Amino acid sequence: MNFTPATPVIVQGIMEPLGVTYAPLMRSYGTQIVAGISSGFGGQTLDGIPVFDMLEQALPVVGPIETAIVCNPPYAALDAALEAISAGVRQIVLISQGIPPLDMVHLIRKAEASETLVLGPNTPGIIVPGQILLGIHPPEFYAPGSVGLISRSGTLTYEVAWALTQAGLGQSIGVSIGGDTIVGSSFAQWLQILDEDENTEVIVLVGEIGGDSEESAAHYIAEAIDKPVIAYIAGRSAPRGRRMGHAGAIIDLQTVDVGPEVGTADSKMSAFKRAKIPVASRPSDIPGLVKKLLKIPARRSAG
């Protein structure tokens, strides 16, 4: 993982609405955006960022690229990501929402063959507070610190980050793996990254009902993660069986050691409890659990 202010970044689809809006914000935060790619806009600039028609035209001018942020429409995102992989880019953030599932299957195969880390799609990206913004996280909710935050949802990531920040607990990184049905990287991959990250002392995992990614993450944490982890599951009050937002990925899988009714809130909470991972009842409870794990004394109320 290499996410620092020195990381050279390109924005593909920079002249699309997402790119036009967020590329300047990322740059003002300290991200080294060296170029943008948008077919038909070559030779123009956006907030001082040179724009090229194709990535291969940008490389001789700006040099090697480490990270690509894809803001293209969903039907064009696969071509953009494959172009980045062919150019040697090994970290790709797919902001685009609704990329066709077969396109994602194709991309994941190419990414695995080239050892490329793919985040998303349908993700706000990555933020290393005070250093770099790769996506659309609202930076004002974050503060530098040692809590690693991994989530499936964008807005829940912001809410938990803000709760931590207000409690004086900064974050080492904020990551959303994405809300689409098929995503490039998993909770397990990011848990391993944060377990090896020297700036992260404790990990907060924010999950949702639907799918089996949280159950699999709980099993992986018990088997392979050394750092303390806290979990929170959103959607526990959702009506059973109703498809809601990200929870539309509810599936009926038989996964080792994750219990019955995979995808429900009860299944996910049970999996974390079996792995001896504290589970917060609400986002506002997370800072207290973090302080307990970090052995930070609670403030006494004035009386």
Instruction: Return the active site residues.
Output: 246
The crossing angle, in degrees rounded to 10, of helices 74-86 and 55-62 is 40
Burial label for 138, CB within 10 Å (0-12, 13-18, 19+), is middle
* Number of neighbours of residue 99 by Cβ within 10 angstroms: 28
Q: How many Cβ atoms from other residues are within 10 Å of residue 260's Cβ?
A: 9
- CA 258/CA 251 separation, integer angstroms: 13
How is residue 145 annotated by DSSP? E
- List the end-to-end C-alpha distance of the chain, in Å, as a whole number: 47
Q: HSE-up of 297 (CA within 13 Å, CB side)?
A: 3
Residue 175 three-state SS: strand
Measured from the Cβ of residue 141, the count of other Cβ atoms closer than 10 Å reads 20
Choose among 74, 235, 250: nearest CA to 155.
235
